Chain A
Amino acid sequence: EAGVAQSPRYKIIEKRQSVAFWCNPISGHATLYWYQQILGQGPKLLIQFQNNGVVDDSQLPKDRFSAERLKGVDSTLKIQPAKLEDSAVYLCASSYLAGGTDTQYFGPGTRLTVL
């Protein structure tokens, strides 16, 4: 069974530029999550989708971050414009059961450096 795929693995941009990350969850997984993991900290949930609807985006900085999950499968997370404090690893995870009560499976992450 293929795991959660993310691309790119690494991205370096200058502040005020825009960037987009892509995630393809495990086939059949209803719930998809985007996390931000700042160095030395645990992952922080940015947004949670159930199929193609948003369940929780309470910690998403909506003035600069946006995410979508078209057709309830893969998802993109965008930052526009980026700030220095956005430097982090962005993790995507998915789980099988609607409602997310099952185990989350994580992708390898995208490491973003904002200069």
Chain B
Amino acid sequence: AQTVTQSQPEMSVQEAETVTLSCTYDTSENNYYLFWYKQPPSRQMILVIRQEAYKQQNATENRFSVNFQKAAKSFSLKISDSQLGDTAMYFCAFMATSGTYKYIFGTGTRLKVLA
């Protein structure tokens, strides 16, 4: 069975600084997707970034980038130039491309951006 671990329950960062959120996962699958989702307070979850396991190049979306280490089963999220609007819960998720394609979520990291 797949598992996703986020070992940082809470983090804080000063506005305009850079922060990295950690995620590790365990799987025997070779083909899968990894995601970071953001859930702002009392608002709905939205996709931040996704990574296909077969791609060696790390995904980037504006200020958000990942460090995908397939051998180490590590998938960290880097947020550059942090903004107050980045304050949210961040969830790492895994999806195998075999079987039912269901997501396995981590327990989340609560990020607070300080002014």
- Answer yes or no: do A and B interact: yes
Spell out A's residues near B (CB within 8 Å).
Answer: 3-4, 31, 33, 40-45, 48, 55-56, 91, 93, 99-101, 103-109
Query: Across the interface, which residues of A come within 8 angstroms of B103, CB to CB?
Result: 33, 43, 45, 104
Closest Cβ of chain B to A51, distance in Å, is 14
Number of interface residues of B (CB under 8 A): 22
A108–B102 touching, CB < 8 Å: no
Interface majority SS on A: helix, strand, loop or mixed? loop
Closest Cβ of chain B to A43, distance in Å, is 5
A-B contact pairs, 25 of them (CB 8 A): A3-B44, A4-B44, A33-B102, A33-B103, A40-B107, A40-B108, A41-B107, A41-B108, A42-B108, A45-B102, A48-B102, A91-B45, A93-B45, A99-B101, A100-B95, A100-B101, A101-B33, A101-B101, A104-B47, A104-B103, A106-B45, A106-B46, A107-B44, A108-B43, A109-B44
Query: Across the interface, which residues of B come within 8 angstroms of A106, CB to CB?
Result: 37, 44-46
The answer for the CA separation of A21 and B97 in the assembled complex, in Å, is 29
Closest Cβ of chain B to A16, distance in Å, is 29
